[in-house]
Structure 1
């Protein structure tokens, strides 16, 4: 039988795979992690949702570029490998990293607020806005140049991958949009990236890191926590906490609805 050279991933295929894992005794928590990872993989793929022998390696490289920790990348690659084994493509599996880095320190919400407060007190508006953008919108460092004057005016950032396929759209909170608009007006920015160097070039990793770390001491926040990755992780953690609370509220509301209906049409 001729080996397939490509495979189309569909929601049905992924659901069948998750059912397979459940039937094999995979725990509810593990299934949730699998689902999150598979959703991320599905979103990463181009519109055709086609995978080949090279897709796993390309995805791993993309995860590295997004500055995910080694531990997180290994976890996601393991999910990919499990999926490939299920689909009969063991030769499409990807190796994980053998050296696991130390756990990345986490920036708390209070520390984030101290950074903003310190930047404001020091009159460092650019630093303030960088921290608020990276920690409040969900932008990755490499996506920062896509935050343009046009995007701020529209109130959303349309993020594109290198192949031109739209990856996602991020909404800019109204409060931050107002502050960015004011900054643009002060600096005379009418087009192009918002955050640029004195020479007009988009700020790179070293520029951004140096800028936001400059206030860590005054803010009494460990310098190792003041970086784009920790800001992004804090944003993600905040979002997950809010979503968890919403889920609980929805479940409680549904329970109350059922109780009210029970009073009317319950058997007893």
Structure 2
């Protein structure tokens, strides 16, 4: 196939196609952002395998983490598939699977408790933290927590062509009822902005970051997805059932769930030391 240039129209069409494929809003924006960065790199030059390899090498030289590079390459390969330029796709970087997670990024239960306590003067945020962490939902799924769903005691989430049901714990259900009654929310989405729209990732992220100093928790640990990961690790620590956890989290690939339940390096070191093999 002859070489072709990448236009802004191509990027917009790619974005629309992702939406039609019912990708999550976060995935659409991520792929679009990566595709636009590749467009800027090409600067009007034709798409060739050599240029894609050059772009890949540039990411390495800029010092991006392997996982980040592979994530960006996945976006570009998806774009090339959409453009029917599959011969220009490149391989991701090989990496040994990690057996433990980075401590500087992992939120502990104690730190979570401090964040909740620091949010007491912001009732909506305080309850939002507990809702995500006690249910394991994605931040994009918070919109499914409606007054009607809480009344039923279960939240039906439809995402990426799949539907799953989240049971609302009794203690959380009571807190949600108290909140909606106090603030006169009679129907629809519970966590909403002043304009009545569901809170989005950026709203929540910004509010959470304000808690870091008061809660004495590193900013690198404070983001919505870490609440979901804390739920996963806590659930697995009790149940030891990774298949059930994958269903609750909505993972189609159990390998994704394995990433969620990694212990930190410190915990891994303690387990190794408990083997008692150094005499």
Normalising by structure 1, we get a TM-score of 0.53
Shift of residue 245, structure 1, vs aligned partner: 8.8
- Unaligned 5+ runs, structure 1: 1-57, 76-90, 247-268
Report the counterpart of residue 65 of structure 1 in structure 2.
Answer: 27
Contact 2:24 2:159 (C-alpha < 8 Å) held by counterparts: no
1:215 match: 211
Q: Distance in 2 between matches of 1:63 and 1:98?
A: 26
Aligned residues between the structures: 170
Equivalence for 2:154: 156
1:226 equivalent to 2:225? Answer: no
C-alpha change, 1:64 and 1:215, in structure 2 (3 Å) is closer
Q: Does 1:143 align with 2:141?
A: yes
**SS at 2:165 equivalent:** strand
Could you tell me how far apart the structure 2 residues matched to 1:147 and 1:214 are?
24
For 2:214 and 2:204, locate their aligned partners in 1 and report how far apart those are by CA, in whole Å: 18
Partner SS state of residue 179, structure 2: helix
Q: How far did 1:186 drift?
A: 1.0
Instruction: Give the superposition deviation at 1:131.
Output: 0.7
In structure 2, list runs of 5 or more residues that go unmatched.
Answer: 1-20, 31-64, 72-85, 96-100, 243-279
Q: 1:48 corresponds to which residue?
A: none
Relative distance call for 1:196 and 1:99 in structure 2 (3 A) is: farther
**Using a 3 Å threshold, how does the CA distance of structure 1 residues 208 and 62 change in structure 2: closer, same or farther?**
closer
201, 204, 208: which is aligned to 1:205? Answer: 201
TM-score of the two chains, using structure 2 as the length reference? 0.51
CA RMSD across the alignment: 3.9
Q: Shift of residue 244 of structure 1?
A: 2.1
CA contact (8 A) 1:196 1:202 kept: yes
CA contact (8 A) 1:115 1:215 kept: yes
Deviations 1:64-86 (A, max 9, x none): 7399x9859x79xxxxxxxxxxx
Distance 1:195 1:64 in 2: 18
SS of the counterpart of 1:158?
strand
CA distance in 2, matches of 1:222, 1:156: 34
Deviations 1:56-102 (A, max 9, x none): xx79x6697399x9859x79xxxxxxxxxxxxxxx9xx9765498x9
Q: Does 1:124 align with 2:139?
A: no
Q: Whole-Å Cα distance in 2 between the matches of residues 143 and 233 of structure 1?
A: 15
Report deviation, 1:212: 1.9
Runs of 4+ in 1 over 4 A off after TM superposition: 61-64, 69-72, 94-100
- Residue 214 of structure 1 and its aligned partner are, at CA, apart by 1.5
1:193 has 2:207 as partner: no
